[in-house]
Amino acid sequence: MPVKLADFRTTEKSWWCPGCGDFGVLSALQKALVDLQKEPHEVAIVAGIGCSGKIGNYINCYNIHTTHGRTLPVATGLKLANRRLTVIAAGGDGDGYAIGMGHFMHALRRNVDITYLVMDNHVYGLTKGQVSPTSDAGFVTKSTPSGNVEHPVRPLELALASGCGFVAQGFSGWVPQLIELIKAGVQHRGFALINAISPCVTYNLVNTYDFYRERLKKVEDLPGYDPTDRAKALQAVIEHDGLLTGVLYRREGPSYEDQLPGFRAEPIVEQDLHLAPEEFEKLLAEFR
């Protein structure tokens, strides 16, 4: 039977604030998986810490809620153990671009076939409104009462400069476009970053839905835009101060696991890992 939207829904009550941008991201992700006709048992979500980290609880599939900043290494291990799974890492700008930044940069260069969906709201919502890595300079929060004096992290520029093979940005206020971006990211062979602008209606009253609707531009509306030209993609992101949506850059090529010598097609979870006593002893002898 065809997969339906109800197949990816759970009965757990959401703890997100009414109007939270994460609702749009959740809806887009569920609809994308239905459009791709993925079965719930074929999908695994690895979620981080923060409001966005609860997204796995609201989707009926495998779900790992991991420790702060460790979303990508867990997702990487999961994909390498069972490459038949559609693995989606999900988290916020704090989890991904602060404590998780080291893992983020290495995941980009490794190019493991996972999709990273970051819900970027420019503020720490779970801990009640502190400055985040992507907060704009001058932004007033509980932790920066005189205004943020730090320059914000630029995730799109970092991803493009580091050679990420699929870089996209969506907006939770434009769900139809976000659905297509998630589908494209899942279908891309290799690491796919989808930065989803997801307004926090409680603790960020600057970067609102209206703020983004007035300023965001879709790359397909830029004359002659070529998503296969990395240099021009980077130039466009800089010129528009990151306020672009769509597939910013896409490069086809083998994934990390495709290039591993001797990497077997069947998942580790389906391989016979039993060792005879003599084989085990021989293995131990190598380390004595």
273 pLDDT band, cuts 50/70/90, is: confident
272 pLDDT band, cuts 50/70/90, is: confident
In tens, the pLDDT along 126-163 reads 899 999 999 999 999 999 999 999 999 999 999 999 98
Q: What is the pLDDT of residue 167?
A: 98
Average pLDDT over residues 41-46: 98
30 pLDDT band, cuts 50/70/90, is: very high
Highest mean pLDDT among 106-110, 174-178, 283-287: 174-178
pLDDT at 263 over 70: no
For residues 188 and 255, give the distance between their C-alpha atoms in angstroms, rounded to a whole number.
Answer: 9
Identify any residues that bridge with 157 across adjacent strands, giving them in sequence order.
Answer: none
For residues 69 and 71, give the distance between their C-alpha atoms in angstroms, rounded to a whole number.
Answer: 6
Collapse the DSSP code of 206 into the 3-class scheme (helix H, G, I; strand E, B; otherwise coil) and give the result: coil
Q: What is the pLDDT of residue 253?
A: 86
For residues 198 and 215, give the distance between their C-alpha atoms in angstroms, rounded to a whole number.
Answer: 14
Q: What is the pLDDT of residue 135?
A: 96
For residues 220 and 67, give the distance between their C-alpha atoms in angstroms, rounded to a whole number.
Answer: 37
Collapse the DSSP code of 104 into the 3-class scheme (helix H, G, I; strand E, B; otherwise coil) and give the result: helix
Collapse the DSSP code of 84 into the 3-class scheme (helix H, G, I; strand E, B; otherwise coil) and give the result: coil
pLDDT at 262 over 70: no
pLDDT at 271 over 80: no
- Closest CA relative to residue 243, chosen from 163, 90, 130, 134: 134
283 pLDDT band, cuts 50/70/90, is: confident
Q: What is the pLDDT of residue 90?
A: 97
Tell me what the pLDDT averaged over the chain comes to. 94
Average pLDDT over residues 264-283: 78
Strand ranges (E), the chain: 43-47, 62-65, 86-92, 115-120, 166-171, 192-197, 217-218, 244-250
CA distances from 271 to 134, 160, 261, 266, 282 (A): 43, 37, 17, 7, 20
Q: What is the pLDDT of residue 97?
A: 96
Q: Among all chains, which residue has been given the structure tokens 């599939």?
A: 61
User: How far does the chain reach from its first CA to its final CA, in angstroms?
Assistant: 55
| Helix 22-35 and helix 175-187, axial crossing angle in degrees, nearest 10 | 50
pLDDT above 70 covers a percentage of the chain that reads 97
Task: Determine contact, residues 65/91, Cβ cutoff 8 Å.
Answer: no
Average pLDDT over residues 59-69: 94
Q: In what order do the strands lie in the sheet with 115-120?
A: 62-65, 43-47, 86-92, 115-120, 192-197, 166-171, 244-250, 217-218
Q: Among all chains, which residue has been given the structure tokens 């600057």?
A: 206
Chain-centre distance of CA 81, in angstroms?
A: 20
Amino acid at 78: L
Q: What is the pLDDT of residue 76?
A: 96
Set out the domains of the chain in order of their start, with CATH numbers: 5-285 (3.40.50.970)
Q: Which two tokens stand for residue 22?
A: 């994460």
For residues 245 and 216, give the distance between their C-alpha atoms in angstroms, rounded to a whole number.
Answer: 7
In tens, the pLDDT along 211-259 reads 999 999 999 999 999 999 999 999 999 999 999 999 999 998 899 988 8
Average pLDDT over residues 40-68: 94
